[in-house]
Structure formats: C-alpha cells, structure tokens
Amino acid sequence: MLTQFGATAESLSKASTMVFRIGTDAHLYDDPDDVSIAPLLDSKFESEKCEALKRLLALIAQGFDVSNYFPQVVKNVASQSLEVKKLVYLYLLHYAEKRPNEALLSINYFQKDLGDPNPLVRAWALRTMAGIRLHAIASLVLVAVGKCARDPSVYVRKCAAIALPKLHDLRLEEHTAAIEEIVGMLLKDNSPGVVGASASAFASICPNNFSLIGRNYKRLCEILPDVEEWGQIVLIGILLRYAIAKHGLVRESLMLSFDDRGIQSPEKDDPDSDLTVRKPFNGASFDVCTEIADIVARSYLEGPDKYLARLGHVNQDSIGLDGSCITSAKSNDDVKILLQCTSPLLWSYNSAVVLAAAGVHWIMAPKEDIRKIVKPLLFLLRSAGSSKYVVLCNIQVFAKAMPSLFSPYYEDFFISSSDSYRTKTLKLEILSTIATKTSISSIFLEFQDHVRDPDRRFAADTVAAIGLCAQKLPDVANTCLEALLYLALSESSNNVVALMGEEEILLVQVIKSIMAIIKQDPHSHERVIVHLVRSLDSMSAPAARAMVIWMLGEYCNIGVLTSKMIPTIFKYLAQCFHSESVETKLQIVNACVKVLLRAKVEDMSELRLAISYVLELAKCDLNYDVRDRARVLKNFLSHCKGFNYLEEVDNRTEFNDLTYVFAEYLFGGTKKVPSESFSYRFYLPGSLSQIVLHAAPGYEPLPEPCSFSDDETGHSPTNVHNDHESNEIDDSDEISGSLDEENTSDYSSGSVSGEGGDSYIASDSGEDEEAGTLIHLSDDAPDSRDHDRVSVNNSSSGLMDSGELMSKRALESWLNENSGSGQNSSNLSHVQRSLARISIKDIGQLVKPKSYTLLDPPNGNGLSVIYRYSSEVSKVSTELACIHVSFSNNSEEPMCNIFLAEEKPIPSPDSSEKSGSPSESVLVSHDKEATLIPMEEIDRLNPGQTADRVLQVRFEHHLLPLKLVLSCDGRKQQVKLRPDIGYFIKPLPMDIESFLKKESQLPGMFENIRRCTFSEHLNQQNDRDEPPQKDIFLMICEKLALKMLSNANLHLVSVDMPVAANLDDLSGICLRLSGEILKNSIPCLVTLTLKGTCAEPLEVSVKMNCEETVFGLNLLNRIVNFLAEPTQ
C-alpha cells in the first residue's frame, strides 16, 4: 500500500518537475527579488523567513552581493526552526568576513546552541562559529572546539576536528600549542570517522609534528581500513611521511635501487634468500631503469626544483641515501604494518585511496612487491572514468622508472575511441615506454589502426610514438621504418591537391620520426632516404620538405645511390627554389654546402652549376634571412670550390684556411645530439604537482629520512621549509589588516559618526581649579615600601583562587574544565611596580553625559529634541535604559501634543534617510520590538519653553538604532534613537580587592584588550601655563576618569599611580572601572593602563573582562572609540 503510493508519487514528481515545477524553489531562483525581502526576514512566521532566506541564497547563487541584509539575517540565528538556522548559517558563512562586526552579534546564539542537547545543533553551531574566522573570537572558538572535541557525539567530534584548520588559518601564535594538543587528542579518538577528520586537521596544521603520530602509529595503521575514504587518503600520506622520518628508506625499495647497482643486491648473499623462492624472479623480471629511478627517488626527497638546481655541479650523494638512514621492510615492524594495512585499500572504490595506497607501496615496498599495485591501478582506468587522466599521469612515472611493471599489461593502454585527446597521448607515451620485443608487434598493429584515425593530431602523435619505439628497440627499427615510409609515401601522394593544415601535421611527424630513426644508424637506411627524396616532389608541407632536404645534405655521402642522384636532385631543387618556403630554402642552401664539403660525386661540374644557380637565387631572395645565409655560405664556397677541384688530385695539406675550418665545423661533423627529450620533474605520486608539473604552493617533498626520533621532543625536523606557511602568513596578514580596518570603520559608523552628524553638546564647566581638592592621595596601599609584595600577592592569590572559584555559569558548563588555568595570567598584572593608589572623589558631579540631537529645529519646524543617556536605572525593568529627553520650542508659536512613540511595524520607504551605513537603510522593526515605556505627552510647549521627559527604552540590540515616531501638532516625523552601549550597564560598586578577584576569574576568552591613543591632555597643557608636575599626573588621571564616566555608566574603582616613576613618565598609571550589564547583571571590568610621557599622546591599553564576551567586545570598542575622539 505504502510502496504503491510511493511509486506513483515518484512518477508524478517527475512529471511535475518537467512541466509545472510546482512546489519547487524555481520561482525563487528566477525572480529572487520580486518581493521586498526585508519585511519577510522580520516576519513572525518561520515560513516567510525561510522564503526570504531562500531568496537571498538565490541572489548569492547568482553572484549578487546581498551582504546589506546581514544585520537582519543575523537576528534569525535565534530561530528555533532548523531549516531557518541552516539557511542563516549558509548566508552567514558567505558574508561573515565582509561584515565581521555584525557577525560577532551572532556569537552568543552559537554559544547557546553549543549547549543544545541535539548534537546536530551543536555541530552546526560549531561549524558556523569556526567558519566565521574572526580574530576577535578565536579564543572563544578554541574553547568551543576543545569542548566539542570531547563531545559524546561522534559527529560533533568530527566537526571539531574539521574546525581546527579554520582556527589555524587565523595564524594566532598563542593558540598553536592548544590547537596541536586538540589534534593529538582527536587522533586518539576511538571512532574511525573522527580519526579521519583529525588526520586532515593534522595535515593542514602541523604536518611535521611527528611526535603526535609516533604515539599512535600502530593504532592509526590498524584503524586505517575503517576510516572514511577521505580520511584514508590523508592518513596514508601522513603515515608514509612518519615512517620515512622515523625509519628512513627501505633498502629493498625502488628508492634505493641506484645504490643497489653498486652493492650488487645484498639478498644474493643472504642465507635466507631461499624464502623468496615462492616467486621465482630473475634480475630482468623487475629490471629498473636505475637512472630514472634514482632521479625519481631524489626528486621525492628533495623536490625536483632543488634537485635539478643541484644536479649540475655537486656530487649527488648528499641527502638521505647514505647507509645510515636505511631500514628494511623485512625486519622493521613499522614499515611492515604500514604495507600490510595499506594493501587492502588497493581494493577501495575510491580512486584517490587506491592511488595513495599505491604511492606508499611504490616508495616503501621491496621492489618485487611493487607489482601488487599494478592491477588495482589499471582497474581504475576502467572503474573510475573521471580519474583516468590523473591515474595515467602517475602510471607514466611508474612506468618510466620501472617499465617491467607494466609491460605485461600493455593491452590496458590500448586506446579507446571514447578517450579524451590528452588521455590518448598519455597512453601512447606509456605504450612506447613499456613496449618490449614481445609486445611490440601487437602494439604496432594498434598503432597502424590509429594512423588512420580521423583525429589527425592523434594520428601524428601515434607516428611519434612509433618513432620512439623504434629508437628504443633497434630490432624493430626496420619494420617501423618500412611502415613509416609507406605512410609517408601514401600520405604525400594522397594529398597532392587537398592538403589541409591538419593533414600536414601527420606527414611532418612521419618525416620527423623517420629522421630520428635514421639518425641512429644512417648507413643501413640509405634506401629510405632515397625513397623520401624521390617523393619530394609530391610532398607539399614545407616542414616535411625541409627535413627531407636536411637528410639529403646530412647523409649525402653514405652510399652509392645517394651520390648518384645528388646532381639530379639539385637540378630539381634549383628549378623549384623560387616557390619554396623560407624554411625549405634555408635547408636547401645548407644542403648545398654540405654536399660540396662531403659528397663524392662524379659529375661535379653539373652539381656546381646547379648549386651556384641556387645560391644566386638565394642571394636575391625576398627574405633577408635567406639572403644573408646565402651570402655567408657563398663566401665559404669560394674556398671550398677550389678545394673540391683539387681534392681529386691532391691531398688537403695546404687548405687550413679559416673559412674552411668554419665550414667544416658548422656542416662537417655528425654531432650526436641527445635525442631523448625527457621530463625530469617528478613529484610525489598522487600529488597535484605531479599533474601540473610544477610545485604547487604547499607541496612538500618527503621528510628527510630518519630526521625524527622518539626522544626528540621538538616538533619539526630542520629541513622543513614550508612555502605554504609563508604564503598563508601573508594571506592572514592581509586579512587581519583589513579586519582591523573594518573594525574601526564599522564601529565609527555605528556610533561615532552618529555623533558627528548629530550635534554634540558637551559642557565644560570650570572645574579645574578645584582639581587639587578633588584628588586625595590615599594610603590605600599601606606600607609604601611593600608595594611590590602586596601587589604580587594580590595577583598570585587571584591565580590560586581561580581554580576553585571558577563560576559555574551557563557558558561555563560546557567549557572545558581547565580552560582557566592555561591562560590565566593577564598581561597587565605584571605591569605593577610601586604604586600609589589615589582616589578621585566627587568626580560624579563633574560627569556630564554627552547629549545627542534627536531632532534639530530646521527639521522639526522649530522643535528641537535633545537626549542624553542617564545613569539612573529604570524602576520598571532592569532591561530598560533611561534617557533624558529635552524638548524645546525654538519657534514663535506654541506647540501641542508632543509625543514620542514606537514606530509602527510597517516601515515607510526611507531611502531619503541620510543615514550613513547601509545596514540602517534596510533596518526595520523587529518582531520583538524594542519596547518603549509610553511617554507622558507634552500637551503644550510655548515658544522658548523647554520640557524634560524621561524615556525608558529597551534596545533589542546594543548596536542598532531604534526608530521612533515623534508627533507634534499631529504631524509625524521619524527619528532615530542611537543606542549607547556605555549606558547599557550600571555602575557596580566594588573595592579593589573584589575587583582583582573578579578579574582573575575572567581570564582567557573573557578578556580582551585593545589599544588606543589618548591625546586630550596635550590640549590642556597647551591651553594653560605649565601646571606643577604632580598635577599633570592627577590631571591626566582625572581627565581620563571623566572621559570614561561621561561616556559610560561605570563605577570608578581605583586609580593607581606609579610612585617611583620618572616625573615625566606616565607609564603605569592604571584606572579600574566596573559596571554590570543591565540585562543580566553580569559584571564588566575595565582596566585602563597608560604608557608614554606627558608631552606626547598616551598609549592607553584598555582591558575588558566580561563573561558576556560579545557585549564586552562591543563595549570595549566603544570605549576605545570615545577615548580616541576629542572632547569638544
């Protein structure tokens, strides 16, 4: 019943996708922005949010930038619906780096989700949180990862392992050790899934920290077959590198075959050698191309670039290959187990796993065991079609170094018409490498078929392969030559008229191959040359003609036949010289000289006639190359001619003319040119570099053999030079740079620029003359000689307490237990020297909170509204911030019914709004609207009159402005109330001891420090006449305190001054302030420490300790901003 329904449903669904596309997201992709997305995001219904998010996703898919929706999307992180969550995460990860500050807003939700009972929610939260990649939250993420690495759910642990590289990408030095520790822990995990993921983390974080592997080596080998395929790929590579770093190369392996030649394989004298009888082998059965194998081995160890650079000058034995770093696969258990555990993986259905396993055997297995990898590799060519090309590239290297491995399987490299062109050429190359006397005939039969392939480029490549085979196996050279000659003749005759560009390629290649074969033994192939020369007339491809003429000149004296026909040929060449291409003409001219130098021709006069005719023609050629060449050669010949005359009668005693020597040098010798063009670049099997044939960034050759030993506690062997590393560092620098920029700019747009726009009214009431009385030197730090001891005690007792007094709050419960101890000591506690504690009394009277304009008279028809945050705390609810609002009537007429209210949910299109940041323009009301306690209406405001009201507002968000509607005389006007995070806290009175204690409980991730410069004291100094030195200290302390208290609702706990300090040196002044967050009464501790002298801007380091990290960070940013900005 059920299945039946399923069946119809499926067939129907096919129909629907074809015809109707109903119920899909098609319309969303096609017209993602045909409705306004913003209101949907704020909808009460999950389905509407979902739709909005899908529309955003569609825009992302199509490459549009929709990062301006970021603030609204972030809010939806809190959604309970997993689908909304998932979509938000997708969006968030796409833009987090662009909008770091807003991304920070989501952190609290992630932290909440990390404690969720549903492992899926925990995993997603971790993945996304780590994916945001902000330096500011790195320590938070680290703690989260550490916790998740101990999660009961395998899936979460796996995600933790994958999150580690994200953290590592940020390149924060201070976290390196902690990250590696977690990697080590995860590598020990019981679940293969986790081990696989942590292997990938290991490989990208600390690939040379072999001590982590050493501890688990055996277990990792054993678990390898159960690890997921992707993890296997990486883990195999790690184990291989470890085995080499620990034990060195294997004596019997291919890597040391070069040495074998000298040592004469020790097995031969080995009494145990009868054990190897199971498979009788003689030397030839795995004959290794030692020269190439040696290059391969050295390239693997050193990287080809380094190796090649060294190749020229130094004796080759420098690294790794001396006897001390050699082990044996038979006696070494670690090597044995590695080979054992990787060999079943050769049956994997994932081609990458097979190739990785094959690579281990290639490098580590005794030569006679390498053949194990052959069949699995060959099977990949059929079973994993997409991987074919890459597998072939690797086989090509294997075959070059050890042709015998693959030579019995030549049929597997026969070309199928469905292969891509590149695959075909690779197969041809491999075939010509592995061809043997026995297989060559079948291979030739195949080649002959390919020559007639419609793809002429491929046919030409086949011809080239035939040439290579013939050079490699001289026995078959004659057969090849016959076949090629036949081909050349038929090709040239076939295309007398229609010779398309494509056809030329083949003929040229045929001649090229013939030339290469003849070069090896010209004397036995005279007949071929004659044939070719005879068919010269029917060849039209210039390159082919040029080559035939070259052969004619080069081999003009090898036999009777050639000598006989030379005069005729030159007559023919003279005849058609004018119509030849430049390339051919040059060769003809060259041939002239060669013939005159060498040929033993009977009828010289006729030949000379023809040649001089040709040279005359050439001298007047249109092409200057030809002309120049002809002139030079003519000069030679003026001597050679004479030489030729006389040679018949006399010996060449007196002809040591210089030109003759030149001519002889240039054209006489039959120089042996190394014919094999060979790619000497070898990279590790299975690597990307091997495919692209250059070292890709991050490519590392094998570690130096035996560079790692267990007792070594250090991490990396000395030779580890890491391109990758330096690359990444550059990148991260860039990132952090831009991050910082964004940090400041974004914050200033959020709060500071707001102030710039709104008029800022600060009142500087003349308080300065009272400064002396305001500040009392207290003997709070009692025995002034024992300052040191006291302060040290303070901080150290804090350290001790921290272990016991760790608060067990919500966040804490999932944090790992010992997170506190590691990062406990705060930087600033060390700064303490001899300090005098001073207290600034009555400063509260001086505090004048900053005022902002809500509405200025021109915009409000004469009504001006100014507000300032008050330090009072609302009686109604702790979540409300109190704001003093002053309404003043600057117009001539009275105003009625002035009233401030919440904006209605339907937003007006406020594009005309002069707001700076894009986030504001899309900002509309939230479903949990920031509530406003209804304000008492002002019935009437006469001209010049001012009325004050207290507004109690709950800001949903501590960075985003709140829109209000101001009605006056029935007119409505939209105004924006800017939140000031400095007033979302209230003073938390405490004494210095409890402050320090609290501070010590909030180390590590709860602590953030930013620096800024404070220069206000400079203005003051300039304004006034030199006040006494002492006062500068006090004045600055007071200035700072005032600044702090005027901008944030904090309690000034203490002001510490260094006593023994240089009079001018302000370094060490330390202000402590405390507050608690209105919403949840979580304390925020602020510590300002100064550095610098009176005469220059001070460097203020602001430290924030707060359990609610994000709030703390935002408040910290705010403090830094207002400290840096001048008071008017």
Restricting to residues 170-209, name those near another protein by CB under 8 A. Answer: 191-193, 197, 200, 204
β-pairing, 1007-1014 vs 1098-1106, is antiparallel
Quick check: 46 binds another protein (CB under 8 A)? yes
285, 383, 796, 818: which one contacts another protein (CB under 8 A)? 383
Quick check: 347 binds another protein (CB under 8 A)? yes
Quick check: 123 binds another protein (CB under 8 A)? yes
Site for another protein in 765-784 (CB under 8 A): none
276, 316, 438, 494: which one contacts another protein (CB under 8 A)? 494
Of 8 and 315, CB closest to another protein: 8
66, 145, 459, 923: which one contacts another protein (CB under 8 A)? 459
Q: Could you tell me which residues come within 8 angstroms of residue 230 by beta carbon, excluding any fewer than 6 positions away?
A: 196, 200
The candidate with the shortest Cα–Cα distance to 980, out of 1121, 1126, 1128, is 1121
| Rounded least distance, CB 393 to another protein, Å | 9
Quick check: 24 binds another protein (CB under 8 A)? yes
Token digits of residue 194: 């986790």
Q: Rounded distance, CA 173 to CA 1067, Å?
A: 27
Quick check: 356 binds another protein (CB under 8 A)? yes
Quick check: 229 binds another protein (CB under 8 A)? yes
Quick check: 63 binds another protein (CB under 8 A)? yes
Of 126 and 297, CB closest to another protein: 126
| Rounded least distance, CB 420 to another protein, Å | 4
Binding part of the chain for another protein, among 6-14, 276-284, 564-572, 610-618 by CB under 8 A, reads 6-14
| Rounded least distance, CB 276 to another protein, Å | 21
Of 352 and 480, CB closest to another protein: 352
The candidate with the shortest Cα–Cα distance to 163, out of 208, 200, 216, is 200
Site for another protein in 658-687 (CB under 8 A): 686-687
43, 97, 917, 950: which one contacts another protein (CB under 8 A)? 97
The candidate with the shortest Cα–Cα distance to 1093, out of 1121, 1054, 1062, is 1062
Q: Rounded distance, CA 403 to CA 405, Å?
A: 5
Of 17 and 759, CB closest to another protein: 17
* Spatial contact of 236 and 312, defined as CB atoms under 8 Å apart: no
| Rounded least distance, CB 434 to another protein, Å | 16
Q: Binding-site residue total for another protein (CB under 8 A)?
A: 132
78, 90, 992, 1061: which one contacts another protein (CB under 8 A)? 90
* Spatial contact of 340 and 314, defined as CB atoms under 8 Å apart: no
Q: Could you tell me which residues come within 8 angstroms of residue 389 by beta carbon, excluding any fewer than 6 positions away?
A: 420, 422, 423, 426
Of 130 and 866, CB closest to another protein: 130
| Rounded least distance, CB 705 to another protein, Å | 21
* Spatial contact of 1046 and 983, defined as CB atoms under 8 Å apart: no
DSSP SS3 for 670? coil
Quick check: 556 binds another protein (CB under 8 A)? no
71, 100, 165, 567: which one contacts another protein (CB under 8 A)? 165
Of 200 and 819, CB closest to another protein: 200
Quick check: 100 binds another protein (CB under 8 A)? no
Binding part of the chain for another protein, among 158-166, 269-277, 632-640, 965-973 by CB under 8 A, reads 158-166
Q: Which parts of 819-891 are beta strand (E)?
A: 835-840, 851-855, 863-873, 881-889
Q: Rounded distance, CA 116 to CA 77, Å?
A: 14
Of 132 and 618, CB closest to another protein: 132
* Spatial contact of 461 and 424, defined as CB atoms under 8 Å apart: yes
For CA atoms 1103, 1105, 1110, 1111, give the dihedral sign.
negative
Of 114 and 996, CB closest to another protein: 114
Q: Rounded distance, CA 521 to CA 797, Å?
A: 92
Q: Rounded distance, CA 371 to CA 361, Å?
A: 9
239, 245, 292, 354: which one contacts another protein (CB under 8 A)? 354
Quick check: 538 binds another protein (CB under 8 A)? no
Of 29 and 613, CB closest to another protein: 29
Quick check: 1073 binds another protein (CB under 8 A)? no
Of 161 and 977, CB closest to another protein: 161
Q: Could you tell me which residues come within 8 angstroms of residue 705 by beta carbon, excluding any fewer than 6 positions away?
A: 244, 245, 247, 248, 249, 301, 320, 325, 326
Q: Rounded distance, CA 1039 to CA 1045, Å?
A: 10
| Rounded least distance, CB 320 to another protein, Å | 21
Quick check: 764 binds another protein (CB under 8 A)? no
Of 409 and 662, CB closest to another protein: 409
| Rounded least distance, CB 93 to another protein, Å | 7
| Rounded least distance, CB 708 to another protein, Å | 21
Site for another protein in 947-976 (CB under 8 A): none
Q: How many CB atoms lie within 10 A of CB 1042?
A: 19
The amino acid at residue 796 is: S
Token digits of residue 583: 């390339």
Of 217 and 444, CB closest to another protein: 444
Quick check: 743 binds another protein (CB under 8 A)? no
| Rounded least distance, CB 603 to another protein, Å | 38
Q: Rounded distance, CA 640 to CA 617, Å?
A: 19
Of 453 and 812, CB closest to another protein: 453
H/E run at residue 999: helix 992-1001
| Rounded least distance, CB 165 to another protein, Å | 6
Taking residues 417 to 456 in sequence order and writing x for each that binds another protein by CB under 8 A, - otherwise, the string is: xx-xxxx------------------x--xx-xx--xxx-x
Distances (CA, A) of 294 to 31, 118, 266, 694: 62, 56, 18, 19
Q: Could you tell me which residues come within 8 angstroms of residue 266 by beta carbon, excluding any fewer than 6 positions away?
A: 251
Q: Helix crossing, 154-169 with 176-187: angle to 10°?
A: 150
Quick check: 133 binds another protein (CB under 8 A)? yes
Q: Rounded distance, CA 488 to CA 495, Å?
A: 11
Q: Rounded distance, CA 292 to CA 300, Å?
A: 12
Quick check: 159 binds another protein (CB under 8 A)? yes
Binding part of the chain for another protein, among 225-233, 780-788, 1014-1022, 1030-1038 by CB under 8 A, reads 225-233
Give me the long-range contacts of 187-190 (CB less than 8 A, separation at least 24): 187/212, 187/213, 187/216, 187/220, 188/215, 188/216, 188/219, 189/157
214, 216, 230, 563: which one contacts another protein (CB under 8 A)? 230
Quick check: 94 binds another protein (CB under 8 A)? yes
Taking residues 692 to 731 in sequence order and writing x for each that binds another protein by CB under 8 A, - otherwise, the string is: x-xxxxxxx-----------------------x--x---x
7, 47, 809, 844: which one contacts another protein (CB under 8 A)? 47
82, 661, 729, 1063: which one contacts another protein (CB under 8 A)? 82
Of 509 and 1047, CB closest to another protein: 509
| Rounded least distance, CB 417 to another protein, Å | 4
| Rounded least distance, CB 731 to another protein, Å | 7
In 339-376, which positions are buried (b, 16+ CB within 10 angstroms) versus exposed (e)? bebbbebbebebbbbbbbbbbbbbbbbbbebbbebbeb
Of 440 and 589, CB closest to another protein: 440
The amino acid at residue 274 is: D
